[in-house]
Amino acid sequence: MIRFGGIDSKGRAILGLALGPENLERLKDGEPIVMDGATVGYEAAVVWVVYADRPEDALKQLEKAAKAAGGRSDNLTEILEAMKDTGKLN
């Protein structure tokens, strides 16, 4: 996986991932990928990548990841609760 980041002309942070075949297979197998923004100079950013056909499938993968991390995964548990309350993936 290749990680990159920068600032655009409007001062917005740009974070990116380039995924190869092995990472795509992990995603298809239901294993989310997490990128800590600090690896490209952005302490305040965490990026979660999932593979899902429906929002409900993405939510299930994220819930599984949060449970595996014991609820300590970068406020993921709070985000999941908000998603359940609104019924949306934002």
The torsion angles phi and psi of 34, rounded to 5 degrees, stand at -120, 130
pLDDT at 63: 79
pLDDT bucket at 20, cuts 50 / 70 / 90: very high
Is residue 89 over pLDDT 70? no
CA-to-CA distance for 89 and 50, rounded, in angstroms? 12
- 87 or 45: which leads in pLDDT: 45
pLDDT digits (tens, 9 = 90+) for 34-83: 888 788 777 777 788 888 888 788 888 887 877 776 655 556 666 666 66
Q: To the nearest 10°, report the CA torsion of 38, 43, 44, 49.
A: 10
